[in-house]
Amino acid sequence: MESVDLARRTVRELNQYLHRQLPGSGIETLEILNPDGAHNIAVGLDGPVEIEVRGHAGYYLAGMNQHAHVTVHGNVGWGVAENMMSGLVRVKGFASESAGASGHGGLLVIEGDASLRCGISMKGIDIVVGGSVGNFSAFMAQAGHLVVCGDAGDGLGDSLYEAVIYVRGAIASLGADAREEPMTDTDRATLARLLRDAAFTHDPREFKRVASARTLYHWNADANQEY
């Protein structure tokens, strides 16, 4: 295993190494030491490498990730896995706001809680949260799945499009155009796969399904601006 110590090197130097020297080097696993809450660690990865971050990280860790598997042994700040395309990002602790924002693919696992707007504008990413999520999670979520093993805050799924949300705990309130729907066999199979991939053992039968009522898709002249 190769190591990069951020007590001795800058984040810019780390990312340049990850983009320019690591590909083709034969190194399959790299650990990042002493992250100490630094921002923009391991952004733009585009290769099948295992990254182990040994500590807490700041904003936008593993943003735009492709193919790489990134594990954070700590907490993360805003926008972890923002605009993620593929691969796996796992946070062993807690995540701040906008986790997985605008993600197109791959799997984001947060073992603790996630703050406000988890999964905002998600476009195909799958997000599994072991704890609870804050207000307005999955706001304007367009595609993909958000799995919440704990509780969900107010405004869940506000202005939801085609993403689907599964919640095991209590939902404080649903946002505009979001509604609870019956779980189907397909839902349970999808949820079982996501929980297995995230290494959680919850029973899919314990979850509720939230999806779009599709009343915001088209302008309605008779709605009198009341949506």
Least Cα distance to 204 among 194, 213, 214 occurs for 194
pLDDT tens digit sequence for 104-135: 999 999 999 999 999 999 999 999 999 999 99
| Segment 163-171 mean pLDDT | 98
Whether the Cβ atoms of residue 49 and residue 65 lie closer than 8 Å to each other: no
| Domain, as residue range, for 159 | 2-223
- Cα 162 from Cα 45, distance rounded (Å): 28
Say whether pLDDT at 219 is over 90. Answer: no
| Segment 49-73 mean pLDDT | 98
Say whether pLDDT at 225 is over 80. Answer: no
Say whether pLDDT at 226 is over 80. Answer: no
CATH code for the domain in which residue 27 is found? 2.160.20.60
Structure tokens belonging to residue 161: 């499009």
Number of domains in the chain: 1
Question: pTM of the full predicted structure?
Answer: 0.95
- Cα 100 from Cα 107, distance rounded (Å): 9
DSSP string, 196-213: HHTT----GGG-EEEEE-
Cβ within 8 Å of residue 10, ≥6 positions away = none
Residue with tokens 């509780």: 151
